[in-house]
């Protein structure tokens, strides 16, 4: 009895690369590289890999064979994640890390020379800024800070020795979106690499590499994992660009464990479904908040009132699931509002199926005096809401009731 025609898994993989984002999120990076024929990529819980003979090891060392050698350099489970993310992000190579911060710090160590210079934006994740201010200075690296989305300031800040222009897009917490093609043109003319942290957008809403960026970073802890149950990060780019980052990862050792890679791979399969709901919920909530008299201002790129709405509309397919707003209250009144919410958890982070709410002044900037927070644009009445995948009507009803507690 015939076994029937053999399926060409490589051809199937190439066909999948031409499909829609949801299909690629489910199938990319696994089908044509699966050795066990399991539908779900296994957890390869091992620290090292053996060779049949010295010739096999020599083939690896000479670059003739691509396979796993040691768990600090690669693992089949997280290589499947890297392949899937490359397909979604339109990148040639990716490197997984133990966290988003580990991804960013390793990239900085890999690319910045001693005594070098980089340009960053004032609005951004505070821990990244703290690493730059507290640790990169030990390498005599100078940093220029510009206003978000201001390409004129970028042009003026760049120097002949500038190695990197780094920003988030959208930024945290005000969701600023830079004109990336223009920024990349300006930076590249001065020899600087462009690094974009696109955690808030995901590859489903924004692919910076297609707009001129050299590197894109994600905290995979957030939307890519999607369930608040893992820590991970990733850096993506061209094969040439990623080479020094991968080498640095092998030396510094901030790699992802196989079980977390498995959870991330599972989460990615529903990324397109989740992002559609996150984004739809956020837009509905943002529009409702903007019309509420108890709210002074709302920041969401999908709103025409956002300063970068036109830029976001041109470059992004959806504005993500985070809404930042300023309530008409003092610090204590804002605390009462947050405490009165029943659906969102009071918690840091974002991107999971559960809605999360926080006051930046109380979470990320609590160690600073109020006047120091104000210098950074962080008011006592600022609230960041990461919309989950609940029903938008329920989120709005909960917010409406909680605002009455002010």
List pLDDT tens digits, range 96-124.
999 999 999 999 999 999 999 999 999 99
8 A C-beta contact, residue 312 and residue 302: yes
Residues 252 and 394 in one domain: no
Domain membership of residue 1 (yes or no) is no
Residues 150 and 258 in one domain: yes
Q: Count CB neighbours of 42 within 10 A.
A: 14
CATH number at residue 22: 3.40.640.10
Domain extent for 374: 271-403
Residues 215 and 99 in one domain: yes
Domain membership of residue 4 (yes or no) is no
Q: Give catalytic residue positions.
A: 72, 125, 197, 222
Tell me the helices (H) and strands (E) count for the chain, helix number first: 17, 12
Residues 223 and 309 in one domain: no
Residues 255 and 304 in one domain: no
Residues 217 and 293 in one domain: no
Asked whether the predicted pLDDT for residue 95 surpasses 80, the reply is yes
Mean pLDDT of 242-265: 97
8 A C-beta contact, residue 182 and residue 213: no
Asked whether the predicted pLDDT for residue 329 surpasses 80, the reply is yes
Residue corresponding to tokens 């956002």: 306
Cis peptide before 170 (omega within 30 of 0): yes
Count how many domains the chain has: 2
User: What ranges in 234-352 are assigned the alpha helix state H?
Assistant: 239-252, 258-268, 271-290, 309-315, 331-340
Its sign, for the CA torsion 371, 372, 378, 382, is negative
- The 3-state DSSP composition of the chain as helix, strand, coil percent (nearest 5) reads 45, 15, 40
CATH number at residue 374: 3.90.1150.10
Residues 254 and 342 in one domain: no
Q: How far is CA 385 from the centre of its chain?
A: 17
DSSP code at position 199: T
Domain membership of residue 2 (yes or no) is no
Residues 164 and 279 in one domain: no
Share of the chain above pLDDT 90, in %: 81
Residues 255 and 277 in one domain: no
Distance CA 278, CA 290 (A): 18
Mean pLDDT of 285-310: 98
Last residue of a domain, one of 237, 268, 299: 268
What pLDDT band is residue 258 in, cutting at 50, 70 and 90?
Answer: very high
Domain membership of residue 295 (yes or no) is yes
Mean pLDDT of 217-226: 98
Predicted pLDDT of residue 7: 47
Distance CA 116, CA 140 (A): 7
H/E element holding 393?
helix 392-403
| Helix, strand, or coil (residue 52) | coil
Structure-block tokens of residue 250: 């092998």
From 115, 126, 137, select the one nearest 384 (Cα to Cα): 126
Residues 251 and 318 in one domain: no
345-346 sheet: strands from edge to edge: 295-299, 322-327, 382-386, 356-358, 345-346
In degrees, rounded to 5, the angle at the alpha carbon of residue 373 between the alpha carbons of residues 367 and 379 is 120
8 A C-beta contact, residue 265 and residue 84: yes
Mean pLDDT of 232-238: 98
Average of per-residue pLDDT values in the chain = 93
Last residue of a domain, one of 268, 300, 325: 268
Mean pLDDT of 57-71: 89
Domain membership of residue 277 (yes or no) is yes
Distance CA 242, CA 309 (A): 32
pTM for the structure as a whole: 0.91
Domain membership of residue 3 (yes or no) is no
Tens digits of residue pLDDT in 141-188? 999 999 999 999 999 999 999 999 999 999 999 999 999 999 999 999
Predicted pLDDT of residue 144: 97
Q: Are strands 345-346 and 356-358 parallel, antiparallel or unpaired?
A: parallel
Tens digits of residue pLDDT in 7-44? 455 555 565 566 787 788 787 877 666 666 788 888 99
Distance CA 371, CA 374 (A): 5
Last residue of a domain, one of 252, 268, 284: 268
Distance CA 319, CA 77 (A): 31
Residues 354 and 250 in one domain: no
Residues 264 and 361 in one domain: no
Predicted pLDDT of residue 18: 67
């Amino acid at each position: 009895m015939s076994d029937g025609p053999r399926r060409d898994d490589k051809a199937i993989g190439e066909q999948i690369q031409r499909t829609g984002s949801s299909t690629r999120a489910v199938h990319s990076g696994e089908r044509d590289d699966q050795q066990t024929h399991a539908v779900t990529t296994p957890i390869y819980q091992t620290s090292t890999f053996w060779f049949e003979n010295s010739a096999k090891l020599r083939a690896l060392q000479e670059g003739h064979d691509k396979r796993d050698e040691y768990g600090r350099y690669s693992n089949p489970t997280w290589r499947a994640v890297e392949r899937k993310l490359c397909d979604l992000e339109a990148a040639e190579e990716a490197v997984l890390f133990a966290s988003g911060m580990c991804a960013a710090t390793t990239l900085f160590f890999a690319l910045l020379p001693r005594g070098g210079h980089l340009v960053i934006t004032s609005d951004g994740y505070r821990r990244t800024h703290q690493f730059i201010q507290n640790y990169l200075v030990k390498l005599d690296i100078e940093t220029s800070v510009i206003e978000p989305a201001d390409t004129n300031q970028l042009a003026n800040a760049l120097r002949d020795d500038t190695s990197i222009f780094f920003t988030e897009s959208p930024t945290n917490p005000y969701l600023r979106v830079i004109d990336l093609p223009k920024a990349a043109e300006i930076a590249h003319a001065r020899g600087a690499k462009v690094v974009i942290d696109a955690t808030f957008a995901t590859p489903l809403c924004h692919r910076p590499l297609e707009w001129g960026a050299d590197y894109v970073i994600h905290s995979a802890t957030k939307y890519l994992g999607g369930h608040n149950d893992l820590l991970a990060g990733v850096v993506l780019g061209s094969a040439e660009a990623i080479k020094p980052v991968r080498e640095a990862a092998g030396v510094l050792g901030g790699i992802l464990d196989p079980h977390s890679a498995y959870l991330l791979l599972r989460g990615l399969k529903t990324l397109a479904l989740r992002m559609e709901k996150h984004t739809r919920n956020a837009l509905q909530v943002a529009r409702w908040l903007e019309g509420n008299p108890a709210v002074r201002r709302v920041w969401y790129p999908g709103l025409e009132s956002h300063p970068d709405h036109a830029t976001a509309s041109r470059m992004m397919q959806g504005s993500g699931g985070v809404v930042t707003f300023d309530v008409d209250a003092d610090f204590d009144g804002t605390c009462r509002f947050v405490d009165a919410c029943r659906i969102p958890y009071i918690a840091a982070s974002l991107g999971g199926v559960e809605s999360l709410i926080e006051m930046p002044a109380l979470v990320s900037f609590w160690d600073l005096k109020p006047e120091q927070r104000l210098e950074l644009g962080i008011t006592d009445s600022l609230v960041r809401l990461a919309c989950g995948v609940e029903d938008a009507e329920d989120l709005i009803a909960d917010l409406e009731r909680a605002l009455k507690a002010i």
